[in-house]
Structure 1
């Protein structure tokens, strides 16, 4: 029987920001769990015509965390370039480095979230001419991360049969 990685969703219900952050954290954890225990070759393996791999998803999400929380929310410089938002990882970059980079991006994002005054805090850098709220940003990043966690779940099942969120 294949390994099942199922865990319950967060049970936090103490306030809007706490709930939103808990669900984003849960989705981030799901992505990292899909990468855990796989070889470099498995992490890089593209099993769909688009070329998507688990490592490519992790790479993309690290760049997205920095772009949205570090740049737009906190007002920091835009790091990297828009190619970093692609789901392609340089073949000579070690998988462990990509995963550690995602963890570091999450930590930096969490610091930016903690520094905000609440869900109504507006981004420092507008998107499309509008300074969206942290509420919007958390919803956006949770859906983005959940979508890619689902992709990673399917890829992981194809690799070794492990299933579950």
Structure 2
């Protein structure tokens, strides 16, 4: 089956932070691309035994962005539960807009951190990891869920690709 949503891998190589943020951005865009053209019902459709939905993945990644970049890197409030259950009353449009806003806030926190060696503002399990570590963690987390989204999307309407 041809890949109908294939995106080119970033070629950024202008330094550690440039490369790291390019690949995080790429993974985020891959997640958002999976949502394109689907209805509210399709975004909430349960297709696997775990109950994971496309919209639930986006909700989870939104909270993860806010935990890792907003809380740990920037020192803001801890947003709490990173589960995949979309709170009642939230539309797909609300959830997607929330993810985009979280990405903007995260990117601002990354720029303000001062570089990959900068320690986080709030320790992670008692350790002050670096921005580098948070970027690697969030890139792998986002890419993993982009893969889940790719499989769910293919089950919904046959659309494939990263």
Task: Give the corresponding residue for 2:108.
Answer: 111
Aligned length: 162
Aligned match of 1:138: 135
Deviation at 1:2, TM superposition (A): 6.6
The whole-number CA distance in structure 1 between the counterparts of 2:3 and 2:119 is 42
Pair 1:25 & 2:22 matched: no
The CA deviation at 1:53 is: 0.4
Secondary structure class of the residue paired with 2:123: coil
Q: CA deviation at 1:3?
A: 6.3
Alignment of 1:1-165 (within 5 A): 4-79=4-79, 81-82=80-81, 85-165=82-162
| Unaligned ranges ≥5, structure 2 | none
Which blocks of at least 5 consecutive residues in structure 1 are unaligned? Answer: none
Question: How far off its partner does 1:93 sit?
Answer: 1.1
Q: Please, what TM-score do these two structures have when normalized by structure 2?
A: 0.97
Distance 2:38 2:147 in 1: 17
Deviation digits for residues 53-105 of structure 1, max 9, x if unmatched? Answer: 000000000000000000000001112x22xx111113421100000000000
| Contact kept? 1:3, 1:161, Cα under 8 Å | no
Q: Secondary structure at the match of 1:55?
A: helix
Does the CA contact (< 8 Å) of 1:2 and 1:161 recur in 2? Answer: no
